[in-house]
Amino acid sequence: MQIQDDNEPYDQINVVPMLDLAYVLLVIFIIMTTASVQGIQVNLPKASNTPSLAKPQTKAITITEDGQVFLDTYPVSLDELRTQLSALKAANPDLPVVVKGDTVVQYGKVMEVLDLLGQVGITQMGLVTQKLAK
């Protein structure tokens, strides 16, 4: 092996530090993309700045503290809710629905209603909450 004199120019480029940097950036990119929070994807109604002449009627499903389900202000069973929502969905395919659940209602009851909405085919749904008082 020849020892190169300090005065002679280099004829090769050392790419090891550049590869090290590329590998570090690749690892950071992989970690950041897999660390994103996964959740339930729902299609929410879109708001626009222009007023619409024919706004779709939003239906509200309320679940009270004792587990009673209301469609707008009328008490219904889950079977009645399925029937009424199916009829409303047939009349308006883009039917928006909001679900309001009491803070002490069992989580399973809310999931039953959300599952029913999925079975009926309603894709524009939202959960109503209140702002946290500061």
In this prediction, residues 63-92 reach a mean pLDDT of 88
Q: Has residue 65 been placed in a domain?
A: yes
What are the pLDDT digits (tens) for 63-75? Answer: 888 888 888 888 8
Do the domain assignments include residue 41?
Answer: no
Q: Mean of the pLDDT values across residues 89-116?
A: 85
pLDDT of residue 40: 47
Q: Report if residue 35 sits inside a domain.
A: no
Q: For the whole model, what pTM was predicted?
A: 0.55
Percent of the chain with pLDDT over 90: 13
CB burial of residue 6 (10 Å; 0-12, 13-18, 19+): exposed
Residue 79 forms part of a structural domain: yes
Q: Which domain holds residue 94?
A: 59-127
Examine residue 1 and state whether it is found in any structural domain, yes or no: no
Decide which of 31 and 56 is more confident: 31
Residue 111 lies in a domain: yes
Q: How many domains would you assign to the chain?
A: 1
Instruction: Please compute the mean of the pLDDT values over residues 40-50 and round it to a whole number.
Output: 55
Phi, psi angle pair for 71, to nearest 5°: -105, 115
Q: Which CATH number characterizes residue 111's domain?
A: 3.30.420.270
Are the C-beta atoms of residues 55 and 94 closer than 8 Å to each other?
Answer: no
pLDDT higher than threshold 70 for residue 41: no
Contact by Cβ (8 Å): 71, 81: yes
Task: Please check whether residue 22 lies inside any domain of the structure.
Answer: no
Q: In whole angstroms, give the CA distance from residue 23 to residue 30.
A: 11
Q: What are phi and psi of 28, to 5 degrees?
A: -60, -45
Read off the pLDDT band of 82 (50, 70, 90). very high
Is residue 116 situated within a structural domain?
yes
